Amino acid sequence: MNDKLCIIISSSDRGVIKTALQYARRTVTEAFMGDIKLFLFGPCEATIACDPELQIFSRMFMEETGKGIMACRWCADDYGVSQSLKELSIEVDFIGEVVSEAIRKGYVPMVW
């Protein structure tokens, strides 16, 4: 059984983002899966950068799991939120190749 998950949050809907962040956190803290990677891609980056509650959920994920969050630099630059995400300790980089590599390594993509 594959127990590696690649969570990709793209939606701008704050409810979807909040649920995805909560699911990602619990997946690690409750050991639902062996390993996960969490990526922000597209509109969700702007929503998180401007929403204090989602920022808390992002910090909770990183603090409680010891895992990082990666955001797409192209998207973050396009939305003008790269610096805001970096201030939240979210890694901002070009992630197309990183996501593709994770999938090649057996991480199952789950897109929110």
Q: Domain segments of the chain: what residues?
A: 4-111
Section 84-96 average pLDDT:
97
Q: 0.85 cut: is pTM over it?
A: yes
Q: Which two tokens stand for residue 43?
A: 């509109």
1: pLDDT strictly greater than 80: no
pLDDT band at 2 (very low <50, low <70, confident <90, very high): confident
Q: What does the pLDDT look like over 24-47, one tens digit per residue?
A: 999 999 999 999 999 999 999 999
Please state the length of the chain.
112
Q: Which CATH superfamily, name and number, covers 4-111?
A: DsrEFH-like (3.40.1260.10)
The most distant pair of C-alpha atoms in the chain lies apart, rounded to whole Å, by: 40
Section 77-96 average pLDDT:
97
Q: How far apart are CA 82 and CA 45, in angstroms?
A: 9
Q: Which two tokens stand for residue 94?
A: 């070009």
- On the 0-12 / 13-18 / 19+ scale of CB atoms within 10 A, 80 is exposed
